[in-house]
Amino acid sequence: MSKIKLQVRPLNLKLKHPFGISRGSITCAKNVLITLHFGDIVAYGEAAPSTYYGEDQNTVTKFVNDFIRDKSAEEYITNIHKLKDDLDYFSANVFRLSAPSARVALEIAFWDLIGKINNKSLYQYFFQEDDPFLVSENGYQDIPPTSYTIGLDSLLMIEQKAKEALLKGCRVLKVKLGHGYEQDLNILKKINEITKEYPCILRVDVNGGWDLETTKKMIDVLPMYKVEILEQPLPKGSVKLLSEIYEKSPIPIFVDEDCMNSRDVESLAGKVHGINIKLMKSGSIIEALNMINLARSYNLKIMIGCMIESSCGISAAASLSPMTDYVDLDGHILLENDPFSGLLFENNRIIPSFEAGLGVDLSLLN
């Protein structure tokens, strides 16, 4: 059997516009690309590390190189679950850092490799019978539409971003808030003014930027602006406070930062309406599947989300989108130049390629 050769390198992704949330703003996502060479096959995985979760390009690179150094990586081709178990053990007992984006990047790369060896698309491993991505009489209507994020910025730039999104055909806008009641209300008014002639749906994501009193005030206002979801209004660790408003809230409340993996799901039942699952937080596609099943058992709604990622990482997440209620997979659309190609954006839906593995090709890399 051929030996797997692994390469780790920075993947710096420049954004079309500054991407602002309540905790700050970036103009470039400093990601990491993993490449596996196995005979004539080349497979890819992507990490989108966040310093908020204790990762950066250096920690991801070190984690991957340290993990793979003494491994017979070829065994993972026939046992992807062992890869997950080994990564979990290594992060907890050797590296002593959770490193979720590093773990999932390796897993994505091996899923891509396995799919290419077997000439099978990644999503086909999760949908054994009906193919959810085959076009039916109603198009892709069974796939939830993705939102397109309008980051925090000046009102002038927010207006520009929203107009560009509408010209792209985006009709589900995720509006970042978290600057306080008055400023956030002005942003909503501006977005409403721009979208009033379009059949748009709004989602609001605060990234923990409000306190409880601001949340209570905003919840009464949001339905007036066609807002269908309120995401992470309070800082991480404040979920118990949401139980005060959970049952009376006129719109569903989701958490993102408060839900990393399946261990968090049970504690959220009865306090929020839904969770945002991101591969870069869960640390594993397999873990994300576990989270979906567990969330269903607790009657929690599910959103599949992303960091700022290229089509490489987004393709992996899109493979799970038919299992979810809401989709927020716009990271690659926000980029000035996506180094990967292969994903479709049709009628606000992110559709993975039918090609083997992730179905994406590396077409541009600095």
- Using the predicted structure, report yes or no on whether residue 357 has a pLDDT greater than 70: yes
Give residue-wise pLDDT tens across range 70-102: 899 999 999 999 999 999 999 999 999 999 999
Q: What values do phi and psi take at 299, rounded to 5?
A: 60, 35
Mean pLDDT of the chain: 96
- Using the predicted structure, report yes or no on whether residue 366 has a pLDDT greater than 60: no
Per-residue model confidence (pLDDT) at position 1: 67
Predicted confidence band at 135 (pLDDT cuts at 50, 70, 90)?
Answer: confident
- Using the predicted structure, report yes or no on whether residue 189 has a pLDDT greater than 60: yes
* Helices 181-195 + 212-221 axis angle, to 10: 20
Give residue-wise pLDDT tens across range 6-31: 999 999 999 999 999 999 999 999 99
Per-residue model confidence (pLDDT) at position 243: 85
Per-residue model confidence (pLDDT) at position 275: 98
- Using the predicted structure, report yes or no on whether residue 364 has a pLDDT greater than 80: no
Task: Using CA atoms of 269, 271, 277, 280 in order, give the dihedral in degrees to the nearest 10.
Answer: -110
Residues of the chain with CATH 3.20.20.120: 148-362
Per-residue model confidence (pLDDT) at position 235: 97
- For domain 148-362, the CATH class is alpha beta
Nearest to 312 by CA among 13, 51, 37: 13
Give residue-wise pLDDT tens across range 28-51: 999 999 999 999 999 999 999 999
Residue 186 structure tokens = 């002005």
- Using the predicted structure, report yes or no on whether residue 130 has a pLDDT greater than 90: no
Report, at the CATH architecture level, how domain 4-125 is classified.
2-Layer Sandwich (3.30)
Give residue-wise pLDDT tens across range 196-247: 999 999 999 999 999 999 999 999 999 999 999 999 999 999 999 998 899 9
Give residue-wise pLDDT tens across range 142-184: 899 999 999 999 999 999 999 999 999 999 999 999 999 999 9
For the chain, what percent of residues have pLDDT higher than 70? Answer: 99
- Using the predicted structure, report yes or no on whether residue 331 has a pLDDT greater than 70: yes
